[in-house]
A = this chain, B = another copy of it.
Amino acid sequence: MTASAHTGGAVTADHDLRSELTEFYARQMQALDAGQAEQWAATFTEDGVFAANAYPQPTVGRAAITEAVKAAAAQLAADQVVHRHWLGMLAVYPVDEHTVRTRFYALVIQTPKNGVAAIHRSTIAEDELVRGGDGWQVRRRDVTRDDL
């Protein structure tokens, strides 16, 4: 896809879409970093898939996604470390009225209590999102760590 592909077609609709998704991701990441496991899981579909090249198998379904974040948040609290997930360079590829694909970079910034902040991970990710009655949800996310 060329860099200018997005500028053709239904421009206004696409701009609304980009704005919606940008807000969606901001709130999704804030929920994750606050350890709000249910709110994080609610940003995925009921059968949502979270796959990463760092793990042998994807996490499938809201219940499993909720548990994974609860465990991660408990570990961070025990370690007295704060994580901040930053998304950037968000490219939006509309599929149809109810489906969109995105490709973006994500950083994890790690700060130990009384310590120095640093980049923990640099990744690139791809989402498939669907629009329901309650807004956008991730049907599948694939995260690729740059170091692996």
Contacts and interface: CB of A to CB of B under 8 A. Distances in A.
Interface of A: 1-8, 11-12, 14-16, 18-20, 22-31, 39, 42-43, 82, 84-92, 103-105, 107, 109, 111-122, 124, 134-137, 146-148
Contacts of A134: 2, 4, 7
A105 B119 contact: no
B3 A92 contact: no
A6 B25 contact: no
A107 to B, nearest CB: 7
B119 A117 contact: yes
Find the residue from A1, A114, A119 having the highest chain B CB count within 10 A. A119
Across chains A and B, which 8 residue pairs bring their CB atoms closest together, nearest first? Answer: A4-B135, A7-B135, A111-B146, A117-B122, A15-B19, A3-B27, A82-B146, A26-B89
Nearest to A113: B147
30 contacts: A3-B42, A4-B43, A4-B134, A4-B137, A6-B20, A6-B135, A7-B23, A7-B24, A8-B135, A11-B20, A15-B16, A18-B19, A22-B90, A23-B92, A26-B104, A84-B146, A85-B89, A86-B89, A87-B89, A107-B109, A107-B117, A109-B119, A109-B122, A111-B122, A112-B147, A113-B148, A117-B119, A117-B121, A117-B146, A117-B147
How would you classify the secondary structure of chain A's contact residues: helix, strand, loop or mixed?
mixed
Contacts of A8: 135
